[in-house]
Amino acid sequence: GINVWCAAGKGTFGTAALIRRVQKVQLDKLVTHRTILLPQLGASGVAAHQVQKATGFRVTYGPIRAYALPLFLVTGLQASEENRRIHFTLRDRLLLPPVELVPTGKWSCRRALLVLLSIVSAAAILPLFVGSLRGTVLAPLLLRYFFGQRFAVQGAVVGCCWAVLFIGVGRATGWLAAALFLTVPAVPAFLPLTYTGSTPFT
């Protein structure tokens, strides 16, 4: 569902693509019915009336959750109100960080290695490394509690809090404090952008 949502929002799963595929495989010659069942989360990219006009197939949207599909088919393509809504609970949000931790971990480790091999102190990478983890984990978990819908702003809030904490605990002053406050929030501000299309917020 999430991939379809993302694809619909970016235009790669839409009216033109659907019409092109139906016509390419000559679907009207393969089946006797004239109904196309699509994921509900793809509705934002599909104009059902245009699909029906171009192909003769009527578009019907299935339930949000895949596990509800058998019941949906048995009940004559009827979905309950519960299967038409996304709640995006804490449990749902907990599924997002593990997906991003792998690429984030590779990204952070490569940069940590470069810093460790340079003349910069190894301690300098700590706030950035932890900041990247906070941006990957805390940002999606706190989505419902932050203001606005811009992931970059929400990630920056997490980063600023971490920068202030690190500066306070480490008693950083002067240029070091300024550098930390400018660079540390940038990492968690960028990382939540990878969740675009993966939540009902975008």
3-state secondary structure the chain: CHHHHHHHHHCCCCHHHHHHHHHHCCHHHHCCCCEEEECHHHHHHCCHHHHHHHHCCEEEECCCCHHHHHHHHHCCCCCCCHHHCCCCCHHHHCCHHHHHHHHHHHHHHHHHHHHHCCCCCHHHHHHHHHHHHHHHHHHHHCHHHCCCCCHHHHHHHHHHHHHHHHHHHHCCCHHHHHHHHHHCCHHHHHHHHHHCCCCCCC
Q: Which of 15-19, 139-143, 176-180 has the lowest mean pLDDT?
A: 139-143
Instruction: Report the chain's terminal Cα–Cα distance, integer Å.
Output: 14
Q: Which of the two residues, 106 and 162, has the higher pLDDT score?
A: 162
Say how far residue 61 (Cα) sits from the centre of its chain. Answer: 22
- Rounded CA-CA distance 9/160 in Å is 30
- Rounded CA-CA distance 77/72 in Å is 5
Q: Which of the two residues, 161 and 52, has the higher pLDDT score?
A: 52
Output the CA torsion 8→13→16→17 (10° steps).
Answer: 180
Asked whether the beta carbons of 43 and 8 are under 8 A apart, the reply is yes
In this prediction, residue 13 carries a pLDDT of: 80
- Rounded CA-CA distance 11/13 in Å is 5
Average pLDDT on 28-32 reads 91
Q: Which of 9-13, 41-45, 81-85 has the lowest mean pLDDT?
A: 9-13
| Res. 175 pLDDT band, cuts 50 70 90 | confident
pLDDT in tens, 144-172: 666 556 677 777 777 777 777 776 766 76
- Rounded CA-CA distance 132/109 in Å is 11
In this prediction, residue 84 carries a pLDDT of: 78
Paired residues of 38 in beta bridges: 61
Q: Which of the two residues, 127 and 65, has the higher pLDDT score?
A: 65
Say how far residue 32 (Cα) sits from the centre of its chain. Answer: 37
In this prediction, residue 25 carries a pLDDT of: 92
pLDDT in tens, 117-135: 554 455 555 666 666 666 6
Does residue 137 register a pLDDT over 60?
Answer: yes
In this prediction, residue 199 carries a pLDDT of: 59
Q: 43-47, 89-93, 141-145: which has the highest mean pLDDT?
A: 43-47
For Cα atoms 108, 2, 154, give the angle at the middle one, nearest 5 degrees. Answer: 50
All structural domains of the chain with their residue ranges = 4-84, 90-194
Length of the chain: 202
| Res. 24 pLDDT band, cuts 50 70 90 | very high
Share of the chain above pLDDT 70, in %: 59
